[in-house]
């Protein structure tokens, strides 16, 4: 049976744990604090904007503005469910339906090889990037909407909305570039799984023991793993939205 490479347990976000398990990358714990890391990521113009947002006079709040918190909570849940379905329901990432097992491992391998065309990782890379773009657009629109609503509540919430806008502007390009590397990182996992199955089928054919497993199982496993990474990425991307929503629901 094919299995993903096993790694030493790692604490941290699900996305980091998944990447450490599926790739050859070593992920050492960072010795820097969050403030130290941010100081490296923010340019001087970003730092000025953040300082102004934190230390300046709170933005004025329109009088009589009302916000329907439960409705916004429902909208966030709807967007999240829609993006989750876009991942788990995607045809490229779905597990393929297979025929019933044949009499021997050799027969299964021959039938599956004849029925299934060669698989190119470029197809999965492009699909991953397309789903990323869908997440980026939907979550960006939702984040902007929540900020606009926060700006109508109280001066402190309006300040929070301003800080979030500065942080998004300062970090969005870095976030985009880092997350865009994920499809490339999974290419090695794709090739390792494919080679592992080839080796297993060759060994079964050489021994003629009929225990070679099902040809194509590696691809089903890879699809499941890629779905898992995308779902973990969705969790990371949704964190700013969750923070803004929590502030919006504060009474």
Residue 170, pLDDT score: 87
Across 57-69, b (16+ Cβ under 10 Å) vs e yields eeeebeeeeeeee
The crossing angle, in degrees rounded to 10, of helices 155-179 and 217-248 is 160
3 state SS of 61: coil
What tokens were used for 213?
């497993």
Report if residue 199 sits inside a domain: yes
Report if residue 153 sits inside a domain: yes
Q: Which residue ranges of the chain lie beneath pLDDT 50?
A: 1, 4-9, 99-103, 105, 109, 113-116
Structural domain boundaries, residue 120: 65-96+104-248
Residue 25, pLDDT score: 67
Report if residue 229 sits inside a domain: yes
> What is the Cα–Cα distance from 174 to 39, expressed in whole angstroms?
14
> What is the Cα–Cα distance from 237 to 176, expressed in whole angstroms?
10
Residue 113, pLDDT score: 47
- Count: domains in the chain: 1
Those residues whose C-beta lies under 8 Å from the C-beta of residue 195, and which sit 6 or more positions away, are: none
Report if residue 195 sits inside a domain: yes
Report if residue 228 sits inside a domain: yes
Burial of 105 (0-12, 13-18, 19+ CB in 10 A): buried
pLDDT digits (tens, 9 = 90+) for 94-138: 776 554 444 454 555 455 544 445 789 999 999 999 999 999 999
Those residues whose C-beta lies under 8 Å from the C-beta of residue 11, and which sit 6 or more positions away, are: 17
Residue 48, pLDDT score: 76
Each as own residue / partner, the long-range contacts of residues 189-198 (CB below 8 Å, 24 or more positions apart, any chain) are 189/4, 189/5, 189/22, 189/23, 189/222, 189/225, 190/121, 190/124, 190/222, 191/121, 192/5, 193/2, 193/4, 193/218, 193/219, 193/221, 193/222, 194/119, 194/218, 194/219, 196/2, 197/2
């Amino acid at each position: 049976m094919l299995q993903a490479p096993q790694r030493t347990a790692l604490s941290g976000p699900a996305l980091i744990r998944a990447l450490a398990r599926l790739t050859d990358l070593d992920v050492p714990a960072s010795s820097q604090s969050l403030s130290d890391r941010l100081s490296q990521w923010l340019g001087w113009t970003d730092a000025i904007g953040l300082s102004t947002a934190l230390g300046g006079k709170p933005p004025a709040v329109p009088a009589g503005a009302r916000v329907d918190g439960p409705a916004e909570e429902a909208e966030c849940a709807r967007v999240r469910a829609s993006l989750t379905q876009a991942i788990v329901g995607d045809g490229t990432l779905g597990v393929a339906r297979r025929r019933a097992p044949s009499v021997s491992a050799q027969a299964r391998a021959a039938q599956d090889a004849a029925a299934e065309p060669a698989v190119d990782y470029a197809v999965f890379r492009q699909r991953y990037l397309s789903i990323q773009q869908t997440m980026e657009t939907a979550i960006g629109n939702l984040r902007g909407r929540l900020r606009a609503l926060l700006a109508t509540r109280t001066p402190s919430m309006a300040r929070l909305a301003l800080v979030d806008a500065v942080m998004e502007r300062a970090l969005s390009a870095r976030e985009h570039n880092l997350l865009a590397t994920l499809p490339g990182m999974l290419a090695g996992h794709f090739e390792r799984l494919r080679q592992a199955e080839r080796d297993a089928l060759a060994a079964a054919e050489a021994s003629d023991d009929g225990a070679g497993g099902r040809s194509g199982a590696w691809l089903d496993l890879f699809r499941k793993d890629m779905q898992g990474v995308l779902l973990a990425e969705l969790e990371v991307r949704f964190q700013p939205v969750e923070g803004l929503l929590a502030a919006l629901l504060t009474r």
